């Protein structure tokens, strides 16, 4: 790993310890503002965003940053290499019921697009704080022990798993999607869906495989999850872990981004499950 990426990861560790304190002690109520996607921001979203913006802005190797909670790209150093897109607190509406949440970071070279993502990091804030780093074709798990993140293990998916995380509003599913999900359950898959994509995907990665879906639906024809902040980072994690990630027809990392807040349908899983998704959706 090059030293600039190492520095970015070390900075993410610093942010994560600060965000852990914000989650533990912060006010879980709504703010008066909305983000670009139209979600009402929680005070926790805004506070976490400020922490990350302040810390990443100090780095000479960062060209620009863009957050799910900001309308525009923030330029940092014109001659630097790395652009970082992040979701400071994914699943923030779950903090008041004390379910797990996460932060997601995508590290992009040249420009913000799936083709240019070179690294991804996510942090799970659950009973434990864990960080997963996908870089150089490897996926590594670290855990916060006392005050530092310690290496735990590499993450590899099996070719087939047995858990299913089917997102979105079921009343809006297309019939072929409903049939596909029913077929997985008939085949013995078990439901594991918390409503936070970070812990839901983390579970699939650590339990060997399965399928997370957030499809195109009758009301949201481009899904809900955001390409730069949520989808591409996890697509890279699943690719490097030996799984795959598609929008139904195309590899997620091949799709075009026309606007920083673009969303897409997405499926992340081990190879056999993704093959079935492709057969049903393409
Ligand atoms: P965010 O809190 O950043 O807006 O995103 C939450 C996301 C994701 O974590 C989760 O998988 C999805 O929203 C849940 O959506 P549904 O309730 O529609 O399934
Ligand atoms: Mn999110
Ligand atoms: Mn968020």
Give the DSSP per-residue string, 220-234. Answer: -TT-SSBIIIIIHHH
The verdict on 174 and 143 lying in the same domain is: no
pLDDT digits (tens, 9 = 90+) for 91-100: 999 999 999 9
For residue 190, the surrounding DSSP H or E stretch is strand 190-191
pLDDT digits (tens, 9 = 90+) for 11-48: 999 999 999 999 999 899 999 999 988 889 999 999 99
d(CA 77, CA 58): 10
Ligand 1 neighbours, Cβ below 6 Å, are: 39, 87, 90-93, 167-168, 195-197, 224
Please count the structural domains in the chain. Answer: 2
The CATH number of the domain holding residue 226 is 3.40.190.80
d(CA 52, CA 55): 5
The verdict on 146 and 194 lying in the same domain is: no
The CATH number of the domain holding residue 65 is 3.30.540.10
CA of 77 to the centre of ligand 1 (A): 32
The pLDDT of residue 40: 92
Helix (H, G, I), strand (E, B) or coil at 7: helix
The pLDDT of residue 80: 97
Beta bridge partners of 218: none
The verdict on 9 and 148 lying in the same domain is: yes
Residue in 41, 48, 49, 90 to alter for ligand 1 test, most ligand atoms within 8 A of Cβ:
90
d(CA 149, CA 163): 28
The verdict on 148 and 247 lying in the same domain is: no
Among all bound ligands, the one having the nearest atom to the CA of 39 is 1
CA of 44 to the centre of ligand 2 (A): 13
The parts of the chain modelled with pLDDT lower than 70 are: none
The verdict on 27 and 142 lying in the same domain is: yes
The verdict on 148 and 180 lying in the same domain is: no
Residue in 126, 167, 231, 267 to alter for ligand 1 test, most ligand atoms within 8 A of Cβ:
167
CA of 246 to the centre of ligand 1 (A): 18
Nearest ligand 1 atom to the CA of 90 is 3
The verdict on 74 and 194 lying in the same domain is: no
CA of 187 to the centre of ligand 3 (A): 33
The verdict on 210 and 97 lying in the same domain is: no
The pLDDT of residue 1: 80
Nearest ligand 1 atom to the CA of 102 is 9
Do the beta carbons of residue 64 and residue 81 sit within 8 Å? no
Beta bridge partners of 5: none
Closest alpha carbon to 29 in 90, 79, 93: 93
- Domain edge (last residue) among 154, 173, 203: 154
The verdict on 12 and 146 lying in the same domain is: yes
Do the beta carbons of residue 269 and residue 208 sit within 8 Å? no
Nearest ligand 1 atom to the CA of 93 is 2
Instruction: Look up the domain containing 87 and give its range.
Output: 3-154
**Helix 43-56 crosses helix 3-25 at what angle (to 10 degrees)?**
150
The verdict on 146 and 204 lying in the same domain is: no
The verdict on 122 and 261 lying in the same domain is: no
Nearest ligand 1 atom to the CA of 37 is 4
- Domain edge (last residue) among 119, 154, 189: 154
The verdict on 217 and 113 lying in the same domain is: no
The pLDDT of residue 98: 97
The pLDDT of residue 171: 98
**Helix 175-186 crosses helix 271-281 at what angle (to 10 degrees)?**
150
């Amino acid at each position: 790993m090059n030293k600039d990426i190492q520095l970015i990861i070390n900075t993410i560790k610093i942010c994560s310890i600060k965000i852990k304190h914000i989650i533990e002690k912060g006010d879980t109520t709504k703010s008066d503002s909305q983000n670009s996607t139209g979600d009402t921001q929680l005070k926790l979203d805004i506070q976490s965003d400020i922490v990350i913006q302040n810390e990443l802005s100090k780095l000479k190797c960062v060209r620009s940053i863009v957050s799910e909670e900001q309308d525009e790209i923030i330029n940092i150093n014109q001659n630097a290499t790395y652009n970082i897109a992040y979701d400071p607190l994914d699943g923030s509406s779950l903090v008041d019921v004390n379910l797990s949440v996460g932060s997601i970071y995508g590290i992009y070279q040249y420009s913000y697009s799936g083709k240019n993502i070179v690294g991804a990091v996510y942090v799970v804030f659950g009973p434990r704080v864990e960080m997963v780093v996908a870089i150089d074709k490897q996926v590594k798990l670290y855990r916060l022990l006392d005050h530092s993140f310690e290496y735990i293990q590499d993450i590899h998916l099996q070719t087939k798993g047995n858990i299913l995380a089917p997102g979105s509003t079921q009343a809006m599913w297309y019939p072929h999607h409903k049939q596909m999900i029913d077929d997985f359950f008939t085949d013995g898959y078990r439901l594991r869906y918390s409503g936070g994509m970070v812990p839901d995907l983390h579970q699939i990665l650590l339990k060997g495989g399965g399928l997370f879906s957030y499809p195109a639906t009758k009301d949201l024809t481009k899904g809900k999850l955001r390409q730069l902040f949520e989808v591409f980072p996890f697509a890279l994690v699943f690719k490097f872990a030996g799984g795959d990630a598609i929008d139904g027809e195309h590899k997620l990392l091949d799709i075009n981004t026309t606007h920083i807040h673009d969303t897409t349908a997405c499926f992340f899983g081990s190879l056999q499950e993704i093959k079935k998704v492709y057969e049903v959706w393409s």
